[in-house]
C-alpha cells in the first residue's frame, strides 16, 4: 500500500488500466461499431436492393423453403426493414432416426448450403459471403479466433478491470468535473491528462452503465457456485428463470402449414400495431408444427409478449415463447440497446467513441508520464518499449485492420471459397503486419506511418466502394440512401482524424538529451525523449 488511500487508488487505477487497456480498447471499438451492426451488414452486401414489402418477402421466403428444405426441422426467416432490407432464410436439418437432436446453431455460422438471401419472388440472390456487422458484435464480447469460453473469460476479466479503473478514477480525481472544463493544450503530459479526463467525464454515466451491464450479463459465468450448489445441470436452472414454450417433436403425420402472413397479422393485433423481426417455423408440414414470431424492438424494451408462439396448422396463439425476468430484460436492453431509434443509436455510438478515446488517451498518458524515466540507467526500457509498440499496433493498427476488412469485402472475388473467413483473415493479416512494422521501425516513425496507413485506408474507402459497386457516395446521395452515404461519411471522418493525428505526431518537437549524461545514454537521448514537448 502507498502512504495514503488516494495514492493507493492512483496506483491501482494506473496498473489496472495498463494491464487491461488494450483489451478494453478492442471491446469498446468493436462494441461501438456493433451499435450499427445491421447497417454494416447492409453495406457489406451491396447486391441487396432497397427494402421490399415485408408481407411479400415472407411469402417468397416460405415458398423458397418449401421447395428447398421441405423436410427440415426448423426454418428461420428474417423480416426486412429499413436497417437491413434483405430477407435471410436458414434451415436446420432434421436428425436421422437414431441420431441425437441437433443443437441450434448461430445463423451466421451455418454452412452456405443451409442459408440464403431471397427476393420477393422466392428466388435466391447471388450475394457475397460475409459476416458483416456480426463480426464486430462477436469480437466485442468473445474475440474472434479464441474459443468462446476463453474469449468470455478474457473480456469478462477486462470488464472487471474497467470497473475498477472507473471507480478508482472517480476517487483520485476529486475535482473531476471542474477539471473537465480545464484543458491546457500544448503542455505535454498535462494536456494528455486533460484529454483523458475530458473523454472520461464526457460520457461517464454511459461508461458506468455499459461496464456494469456487461459484467452483470456474465455474472453466472464468474459466480456459478450458487447455481451448481443447487443444480447438477445448469439447464434446469436457466429453464426456470426463462420459461420457454417447449415444442413437441414431429408426429410423423403431415398437415399443411397455415399462412405465415395470417400469423403475422394475429401477432400485430396482440402487439397493437407492432411488427415482426424474425420468424421461426418448427416441424413445417407436420401436425406438430409451430410458428414463433419475434417482435421488432425499435423504440421498445422487450416485454412479456415480445416472442409469440402459434400453432402451425390452425394459427391459434399458444402463448408467449419466453418470459424473462424484468432484471435480466433491463440489463440486456441497456447493454445491447436494441430498442434505440436512429437518434439515440447515434448518441450511444458517440458515447462509445468517447469510451474508446478515454482508453486510448489513458494508454498514451502512461508512456508520456514515464518517458523521462528512460534517462535513468536503472529504469527498464524493455517494458516501456513493449507498451509503446502495443499502443501503436492496437490504437492505430486495429482501426487500420478494420478498414482493411471493408476493403477486402469490396475487392475479393465473389466466388472464392469461405469468402467470409478470407475477409477476416485479410483484416488480421493487415493487423499482424502493422504489429511487426511497429516493433521493427523507430517508434517515432512507426507512430506516424501506422496512423498514416489508417488514415489512407479510411479516406480511400469511399472511392473503392464507388469503383466496385453501384452504391457510391454520389449515387447514394442522388438516390436518397442515407445508409451508404452515412457509412462513407463516417469513413471520411475517421480518415481525417487519423490523418490529423499523424500530422500532429510528425510535427511534435523533442527535447535534446542533457549534456551531462554518460556517452551511452547521451547517444540515445534524442530517441528516448521523443514525444515529450
Q: Give the residues of the chain that fall short of pLDDT 70.
A: 1-2, 50-52, 95-113, 177-188, 234-247, 299-304, 321-326, 375-376, 378, 508-533
Residues near 432 by beta carbon (within 8 Å), at least 6 away in sequence: none
Claim to verify: residue 32 and residue 155 sit in the same structural domain: yes
How far apart, in whole angstroms, are the C-alpha atoms of residue 214 and residue 158? 11
- Residue whose cell numbers read 485479410: 426
% helix, strand, coil for the chain, step of 5: 60, 10, 30
Cell numbers found for residue 152: 468470455
Whether 83 is covered by a domain: the verdict is yes
HSE (side-chain half, CA atoms, 13 Å) at 8: 5
- Residue whose cell numbers read 408444427: 289
Whether 350 is covered by a domain: the verdict is no
Claim to verify: residue 402 and residue 473 sit in the same structural domain: yes
**Per-residue model confidence (pLDDT) at position 35:** 94
- Residue whose cell numbers read 403475422: 264
Q: Express each pLDDT in 333-350 by its tens digit.
A: 889 888 888 899 999 999
**Per-residue model confidence (pLDDT) at position 378:** 66
Whether 345 is covered by a domain: the verdict is no
Claim to verify: residue 404 and residue 494 sit in the same structural domain: yes
- Residue whose cell numbers read 440472390: 125
Name the domain boundary from 312, 347, 372.
Answer: 372
pTM: 0.86
Apex 175 CA angle, 174 and 180, nearest 5: 130
Whether 348 is covered by a domain: the verdict is no
Claim to verify: residue 201 and residue 255 sit in the same structural domain: no
**Helix (H, G, I), strand (E, B), or coil: what is residue 52?**
coil
**Per-residue model confidence (pLDDT) at position 499:** 96
User: Rounded to 5 degrees, what are φ and ψ at 192?
Assistant: -65, -40
Claim to verify: residue 397 and residue 524 sit in the same structural domain: yes
- Residue whose cell numbers read 514537448: 533
Claim to verify: residue 147 and residue 292 sit in the same structural domain: no
Pair 533, 509: CB distance under 8 Å: yes
Q: Express each pLDDT in 304-333 by its tens digit.
A: 677 888 998 998 888 776 556 667 777 888
Whether 391 is covered by a domain: the verdict is yes
**Per-residue model confidence (pLDDT) at position 491:** 96
Cell numbers found for residue 265: 397479422
Claim to verify: residue 107 and residue 250 sit in the same structural domain: yes
Whether 344 is covered by a domain: the verdict is no
Residues near 374 by beta carbon (within 8 Å), at least 6 away in sequence: 381, 384, 528, 529
- Which of 195-227 are b and which e, b meaning 16 or more Cβ less than 10 Å from the residue's Cβ? bbbbbbbbbbebbeebbbbbbbbbeeeeeeeee
**Per-residue model confidence (pLDDT) at position 448:** 94
Whether 63 is covered by a domain: the verdict is yes
Question: Total structural domains in the chain?
Answer: 3
Query: Residue 282 to residues 44, 73, 98, 253, 518: CA-CA distances in angstroms?
Result: 30, 6, 20, 14, 78
Residue 97: in which H helix or E strand, if any? none
Whether 400 is covered by a domain: the verdict is yes
Pairing between strand 242-244 and 322-324?
A: antiparallel
**Per-residue model confidence (pLDDT) at position 506:** 84
Pairing between strand 115-118 and 87-92?
A: antiparallel
Claim to verify: residue 59 and residue 42 sit in the same structural domain: no
Pair 133, 199: CB distance under 8 Å: no
Claim to verify: residue 399 and residue 504 sit in the same structural domain: yes
Domain extent at residue 302? 54-127+246-320
Give a three-class secondary structure readout of 107-145: HHHCCHHHEEEECCCCCECCCCCCCCCHHHHHHHHHCCC
Claim to verify: residue 382 and residue 457 sit in the same structural domain: yes
How far apart, in whole angstroms, are the C-alpha atoms of residue 146 and residue 152? 9
Claim to verify: residue 107 and residue 174 sit in the same structural domain: no
**Per-residue model confidence (pLDDT) at position 521:** 37
Nearest Cα residue to 2 out of 160, 137, 171: 171
How far apart, in whole angstroms, are the C-alpha atoms of residue 394 and residue 137? 18
**From the CA atom positions of the chain, what is the Rg in Å?**
26
Claim to verify: residue 120 and residue 153 sit in the same structural domain: no
Amino acid at each position: 500500500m502507498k502512504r495514503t488511500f488516494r495514492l493507493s487508488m492512483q496506483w491501482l487505477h494506473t496498473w489496472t488500466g495498463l494491464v487491461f487497456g488494450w483489451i478494453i480498447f478492442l471491446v469498446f471499438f468493436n462494441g461501438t461499431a456493433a451499435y450499427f451492426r445491421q447497417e454494416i451488414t447492409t453495406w457489406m452486401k451491396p447486391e441487396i436492393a432497397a427494402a421490399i414489402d415485408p408481407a411479400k418477402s415472407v411469402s417468397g421466403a416460405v415458398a423458397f423453403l418449401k421447395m428447398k428444405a421441405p423436410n427440415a426441422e426448423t426454418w428461420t426467416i428474417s423480416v426486412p426493414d429499413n436497417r437491413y432490407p434483405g430477407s435471410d432464410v436458414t434451415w436446420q436439418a432434421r436428425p436421422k432416426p437414431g441420431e441425437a437432436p441437433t443443437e441450434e446453431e448461430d445463423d451466421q455460422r451455418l454452412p452456405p448450403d443451409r442459408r440464403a438471401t431471397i427476393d420477393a419472388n422466392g428466388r435466391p440472390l447471388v450475394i457475397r459471403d460475409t459476416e458483416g456487422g456480426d463480426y464486430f458484435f462477436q469480437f466485442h464480447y468473445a474475440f474472434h479466433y479464441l474459443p468462446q469460453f476463453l474469449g468470455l473469460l478474457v473480456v469478462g476479466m477486462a470488464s472487471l478491470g474497467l470497473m475498477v479503473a472507473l471507480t478508482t478514477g472517480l476517487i483520485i480525481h476529486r475535482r473531476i468535473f471542474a477539471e473537465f472544463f480545464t484543458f491546457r493544450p500544448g503542455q505535454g503530459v498535462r494536456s494528455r491528462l486533460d484529454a483523458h479526463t475530458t473523454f472520461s467525464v464526457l460520457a461517464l454515466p454511459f461508461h458506468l452503465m455499459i461496464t456494469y451491464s456487461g459484467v452483470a450479463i456474465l455474472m453466472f459465468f464468474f459466480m456459478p457456485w450458487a447455481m451448481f450448489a443447487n443444480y447438477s445441470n445448469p439447464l434446469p436452472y436457466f429453464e426456470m428463470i426463462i420459461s420457454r414454450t417447449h415444442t413437441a417433436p414431429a408426429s410423423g403425420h403431415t398437415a399443411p402449414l397455415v399462412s405465415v402472413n395470417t400469423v403475422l397479422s394475429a401477432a400485430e393485433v396482440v402487439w397493437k400495431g407492432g411488427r415482426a423481426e424474425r420468424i421461426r417455423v418448427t416441424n413445417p408440414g407436420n401436425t406438430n408444427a409451430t410458428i414463433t414470431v419475434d417482435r421488432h424492438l425499435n423504440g421498445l424494451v422487450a416485454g412479456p409478449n415480445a416472442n409469440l408462439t402459434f400453432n402451425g396448422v390452425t394459427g391459434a396463439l399458444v402463448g408467449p415463447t419466453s418470459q424473462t425476468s424484468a432484471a435480466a430484460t433491463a440489463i440486456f436492453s441497456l447493454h445491447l440497446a436494441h430498442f434505440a431509434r436512429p437518434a439515440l443509436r447515434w448518441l450511444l455510438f458517440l458515447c462509445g467513441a468517447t469510451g474508446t478515446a478515454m482508453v486510448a488517451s489513458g494508454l498514451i498518458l502512461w508512456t508520456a508520464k514515464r518517458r523521462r524515466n528512460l534517462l535513468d540507467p536503472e529504469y527498464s526500457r524493455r517494458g516501456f518499449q513493449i507498451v509503446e509498440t502495443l499502443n501503436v499496433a492496437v490504437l492505430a493498427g486495429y482501426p487500420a485492420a478494420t478498414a482493411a476488412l471493408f476493403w477486402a469485402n469490396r475487392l475479393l472475388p465473389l466466388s472464392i471459397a469461405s469468402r467470409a473467413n478470407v475477409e477476416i483473415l485479410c483484416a488480421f493479416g493487415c493487423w499482424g503486419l502493422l504489429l511487426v512494422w511497429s516493433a521493427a521501425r523507430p517508434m517515432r516513425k512507426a507512430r506516424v506511418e501506422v496512423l498514416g496507413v489508417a488514415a489512407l485506408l479510411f479516406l480511400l474507402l469511399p472511392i473503392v466502394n464507388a469503383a466496385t459497386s453501384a452504391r457510391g457516395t454520389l449515387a447514394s446521395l442522388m438516390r436518397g440512401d442515407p445508409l451508404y452515404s452515412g457509412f462513407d461519411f463516417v469513413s471520411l471522418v475517421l480518415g481525417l482524424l487519423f490523418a490529423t493525428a499523424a500530422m500532429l505526431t510528425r510535427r511534435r518537437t523533442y527535447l535534446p538529451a542533457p549534456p551531462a549524461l554518460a556517452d551511452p545514454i547521451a547517444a540515445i537521448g534524442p530517441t528516448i525523449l521523443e514525444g515529450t514537448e
